[in-house]
Structure 1
């Protein structure tokens, strides 16, 4: 039996009612990534599965961040163009790149009988859910859950602490220095997130960072420093995304921060090249058989386990299971086994699920995407999990979010949907999340 099976059996016999767990947790989840709601139990992960996942994600990150040198001779700009970035984005990425690719990110995955399979890899400081341990702590206030966690030697990562270590490491903050960090979002999205950002900023204070939330246009570059009012800024925590660069006036708005970064007068966490490595176009390059000779055996094995077939939407032949076929013909004939995704949008924007789309619409959207920054990805069929209710049980389809940090794997944030045929899982559109306890 799995940990989940053991928990469900014990909870049905002597555990707290689901409503008691939910009502106790809800007040702790206001102004967090959970948006005030959660599932009725944690998710669980056995030691072997956890260790395999940690190793595979480490190798995936290694393979991704070596793509420029292995495939493009070190030309970052050409890599960016190939995966679908517009020229303004290419220039911003090259200007705002870091000394080395960031480790910060979140891998979103489905899980089936064979393990985890990647949906997308969100690399960079824009990933949500890093405040997830607030629910681990709330769940442990129930004696039944605390006893189950202790009896099975389960643990969880303090993701926010791991993020702070990653910031201090990658921004090269000297030991013993308490940096001042601006958490900067784009002006049009800042008002919606302002309350949550101020709460996150307060959570960073005990961890050694003085954080201030602001729209990025509030930052000024003068006297060889970035300033927020009269406060000098050491690190700019980037919440604005690569697609924001395409907005009118965006390049001019970001110019002070980019200039300061280029001259070494401020650290950006994470640099803009992080989202390049997290592009779905980069995953398409990793999935392409044409480049298999560029990777060592351990990386290939990890890619084969975790990365589903993914290709840029390009006219002409493509390799599928070792056979050359026409991409458009293949996509039309196998609509119910494919997903169409834009390469560089977030939060499920633009995603088209073939099995939920009629054939005419699918053909039209495929033609619109052809030779543009879109990818096709093979459908993953996850196994739903059971969650108890006060009067029985219900099934939820889980999207597992695993955080990558400087020290390896920095915790898990698990979102659920009751659309069991696999829809886009997004907290803003009604998904419900939970935390995870795992064995090391």
Structure 2
């Protein structure tokens, strides 16, 4: 049915008047919502990505099962040097991870990056620290649903968009309720915290508008603008209850000594910070190495192991050791050397494609060089 729906939508676009009016509305909508980056639209396409409802239900169930396994890794990792080493958690990160956020979820707002085909649903990696795009996606959904071609399409198909901001607000409030011991006696003040002058500023404004529309006072600020008076985290005279932390740990560490208020308030337990510093445990790409490594199989139940085997790519922390691949014992370095056609090497704690080597796009000398670099670096992964 999905192919038929896509074909019908594409056929509607053959009507030049319908497609042109839709294009104008898309351009004007993206421009009005400031969803233009460096002159490039957030999406240049007139047809959004469609997913069948049954596929969405299946994907949701898989994600929930795998998330249960991720939560177990967090529970096992806190204070466990072996797992912390496997994840590549540094000494300063361990100190941050040791601070109790006063709620159980390791990463209340996260994104399991994945791809869905006719035959496969597979994860690529997990953005467990500060995933962007939720509010942008809401705005894009509203624009697409207003386009003439989508309205025409909806005459024959039941079209539902995703709404991320309501879910994000719900997540913040649930974490805050747990932080408060199960009872909230006021509407919390929410601060969206990140570095200044980032291209995601517009998304922060979209969140702020939504939070305030629903009765929650909201602020946008940087860690350098925060103050801690021993009792409250403050921005421009406003005491903050919930920090929606968009700031990455790797971005905070270099400025932490000069901007300590956020850490001091968090350590003192006077703010509910989402995500907490413990999200670093699952944000490291090595989290998939823990999920798929036979050494940690006993952490998970049968349903979790089945979901991991079916949907999480085989991953290992890249080092000179023996391991398992599909129940066979292999020398990891030699296995990697001989199987470039199905493997990638990637750094454990980078993003945006930085430092990745794709085996099937590499010549033999290039792949050999990548292996040597990864071994020397000491914090790389090999992934199928």
- Under TM normalisation by the shorter chain, which class is it? 0.7 to 0.9
State the partner residue of 1:40. 46
User: CA–CA distance in 2 between the matches of 1:305 and 1:105?
Assistant: 21
Are 1:183 and 2:192 counterparts? yes
Cα offset, 1:112, TM superposition: 3.0
> Deviation per CA, 1:115-162, whole angstroms, max 9, x where unpaired?
211011112344334330212221222344235346433322210111
With over 3 angstroms needed to count, the CA separation of the structure-2 counterparts of 1:104 and 1:116, relative to structure 1, is same
Between 351-360 and 93-102, report the one with greater CA deviation. Answer: 93-102
Cα offset, 1:79, TM superposition: 3.2
Length, aligned pairs only: 371
> Deviation per CA, 1:331-375, whole angstroms, max 9, x where unpaired?
121112111111122232222222223322322222222272211
Cα offset, 1:68, TM superposition: 4.2
Kept after mapping to 2: 8 A contact 1:26/1:37: no
State the partner residue of 1:211. 218
With over 3 angstroms needed to count, the CA separation of the structure-2 counterparts of 1:294 and 1:96, relative to structure 1, is closer
User: CA–CA distance in 2 between the matches of 1:96 and 1:48?
Assistant: 38
Cα offset, 1:206, TM superposition: 0.9
State the partner residue of 2:334. 329
- Which of 67, 75, 92 is matched with 1:61 structurally? 67
User: CA–CA distance in 2 between the matches of 1:210 and 1:251?
Assistant: 26
- Which of 231, 240, 263 is matched with 1:224 structurally? 231
State the partner residue of 1:401. none
User: CA–CA distance in 1 between the matches of 2:34 and 2:174?
Assistant: 25
Which consecutive residues of structure 2, in runs of 5 or more, have no partner in the other structure? none
Are 1:24 and 2:25 counterparts? yes
Kept after mapping to 1: 8 A contact 2:165/2:207: no
- Does the residue aligned with 1:177 lie in a helix, a strand or coil? coil
With over 3 angstroms needed to count, the CA separation of the structure-2 counterparts of 1:349 and 1:210, relative to structure 1, is farther
Cα offset, 1:273, TM superposition: 0.9
With over 3 angstroms needed to count, the CA separation of the structure-2 counterparts of 1:306 and 1:233, relative to structure 1, is same
State the partner residue of 1:9. 8
User: CA–CA distance in 1 between the matches of 2:336 and 2:98?
Assistant: 34
- Which of 104, 123, 145 is matched with 1:100 structurally? 104
- Does the residue aligned with 1:360 lie in a helix, a strand or coil? helix
Kept after mapping to 2: 8 A contact 1:69/1:75: no
Kept after mapping to 1: 8 A contact 2:233/2:240: yes
User: CA–CA distance in 1 between the matches of 2:277 and 2:35?
Assistant: 23
- Calculate the TM-score normalised by the size of structure 2: 0.87
With over 3 angstroms needed to count, the CA separation of the structure-2 counterparts of 1:123 and 1:68, relative to structure 1, is closer
**How do 1:55-94 and structure 2 match up within 5 A?**
55-70=61-76, 72=77, 75=79, 79-94=83-98
With over 3 angstroms needed to count, the CA separation of the structure-2 counterparts of 1:139 and 1:4, relative to structure 1, is farther
User: CA–CA distance in 2 between the matches of 1:315 and 1:32?
Assistant: 49
Cα offset, 1:224, TM superposition: 0.3
- Does the residue aligned with 2:135 lie in a helix, a strand or coil? coil
With over 3 angstroms needed to count, the CA separation of the structure-2 counterparts of 1:26 and 1:93, relative to structure 1, is farther
Kept after mapping to 1: 8 A contact 2:336/2:343: yes
With over 3 angstroms needed to count, the CA separation of the structure-2 counterparts of 1:328 and 1:367, relative to structure 1, is same
Kept after mapping to 2: 8 A contact 1:108/1:121: yes
- Does the residue aligned with 2:98 lie in a helix, a strand or coil? helix
With over 3 angstroms needed to count, the CA separation of the structure-2 counterparts of 1:363 and 1:246, relative to structure 1, is farther
> Deviation per CA, 1:91-133, whole angstroms, max 9, x where unpaired?
1222264521233111111223322110111123443343302
> Deviation per CA, 1:406-429, whole angstroms, max 9, x where unpaired?
xxxxxxxxxxxxxxxxxxxxxxxx
More helix by share: 2
Kept after mapping to 2: 8 A contact 1:88/1:245: no
Are 1:363 and 2:368 counterparts? yes
